[in-house]
Amino acid sequence: MILAEQRAVLTETPKLLGLDGQKMSKSYGNAIAMREEPESVRRKIRTMPTDPARVRRTDPGEPERCPVWQLHLVYSDEPVRDWVQTGCRSAGIGCLECKQPVIDAILAEQQGFHERAQPYLDDPSLLRNIVADGCDQARKMAQETMREVREAMGLDYD
User: Over 46-64, what HEC string results?
Assistant: HCCCCCCCCCCCCCCCCHH
- Is the same domain home to 89 and 158? no
- Is the same domain home to 88 and 111? yes
The pTM score is 0.75
Q: Domain for residue 92, yes or no?
A: yes
Positions of the chain with pLDDT under 70 = 158
Report pLDDT for 34: 92
Report pLDDT for 158: 63
Q: Domain for residue 17, yes or no?
A: no
Report pLDDT for 21: 82
Q: Domain for residue 3, yes or no?
A: no
- Is the same domain home to 137 and 81? no
The domain in which residue 51 lies consists of 25-118
What is the 8-class DSSP label of residue 13?
A: S
- Is the same domain home to 38 and 99? yes
